Structure formats: structure tokens, C-alpha cells
């Protein structure tokens, strides 16, 4: 003699706001990480207001800006490291050539 079990209504699945990736991106290329953080901070209030489409849109924008910041920042640091290596090799080669002075 039981009543059918009632389940609480389930809302939409949670959306990842990408805040962590946005904060990491600020250390690599901050100009593009700022819009990522702004959009990531819009996700949870939109979910609480019931605007699931707005939360998805803000999360997608945050992810887009974060990825761009990560790609540009990592590429920039990689290029910087390659240039430093090339300069170090060039300096070693230059010093190797100047130390062998021959006298006539």
C-alpha cells in the first residue's frame, strides 16, 4: 500500500563555465583572457535565472576566448624559446670563430 515513488524534478544538466581555463589563460595572453573571464562569470547567474541558452552561449564564448588566449600565448612562448636557443647557438658559434686568431 504504497504510493508511487516521486522524484524531484530534474533541471538541465550543469554547464562548465570554463573559469579555470580562463584564469590559466590570463597568465599566457591576458588581452584575450579578459573576455573569457567575463563570459565565464556570466554562466552561473544565467543558470540560476533559468536562462539555459544564455548560459550555454556564455560558456561557448568563454571557451572560445580561452582557447585563443592559450594558443597565442603558448605559441608566443614557444617562439621566444626558439629565438633564445638560436641566439645562444649563434653566440657560441661566434665566440668559437673569434677565439681562433691566427698570426701571420
Domain definitions of the chain by residue range:
19-99
Question: Which pLDDT band, with edges at 50, 70 and 90, does 100 fall under?
Answer: low
Model pLDDT for residues 11-68, shown as the tens digit of each residue: 777 889 999 999 999 999 999 999 999 999 999 999 999 899 999 999 999 999 999 9
Compute CA 6 distance to the chain's CA centroid, rounded to the nearest angstrom.
43
**CA pair distance 56, 8, nearest whole angstrom:** 24
Residues 29/22, Cβ–Cβ less than 8 Å: no
**CA pair distance 94, 89, nearest whole angstrom:** 9
To the question of pTM greater than 0.75 for the whole model, the response is: no
Predicted confidence (pLDDT) at residue 3 exceeds the cutoff of 80: no
Amino acid at each position: 500500500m504504497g504510493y508511487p515513488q516521486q522524484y524531484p524534478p530534474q533541471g538541465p544538466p550543469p554547464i562548465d563555465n570554463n573559469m579555470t581555463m580562463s584564469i590559466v589563460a590570463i597568465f599566457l595572453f591576458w588581452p584575450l583572457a579578459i573576455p573569457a573571464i567575463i563570459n565565464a562569470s556570466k554562466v552561473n547567474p544565467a543558470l540560476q535565472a533559468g536562462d539555459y541558452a544564455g548560459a550555454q552561449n556564455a560558456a561557448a564564448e568563454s571557451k572560445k576566448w580561452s582557447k585563443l588566449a592559450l594558443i597565442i600565448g603558448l605559441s608566443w612562448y614557444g617562439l621566444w624559446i626558439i629565438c633564445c636557443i638560436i641566439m645562444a647557438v649563434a653566440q657560441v658559434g661566434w665566440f668559437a670563430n673569434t677565439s681562433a686568431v691566427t698570426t701571420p
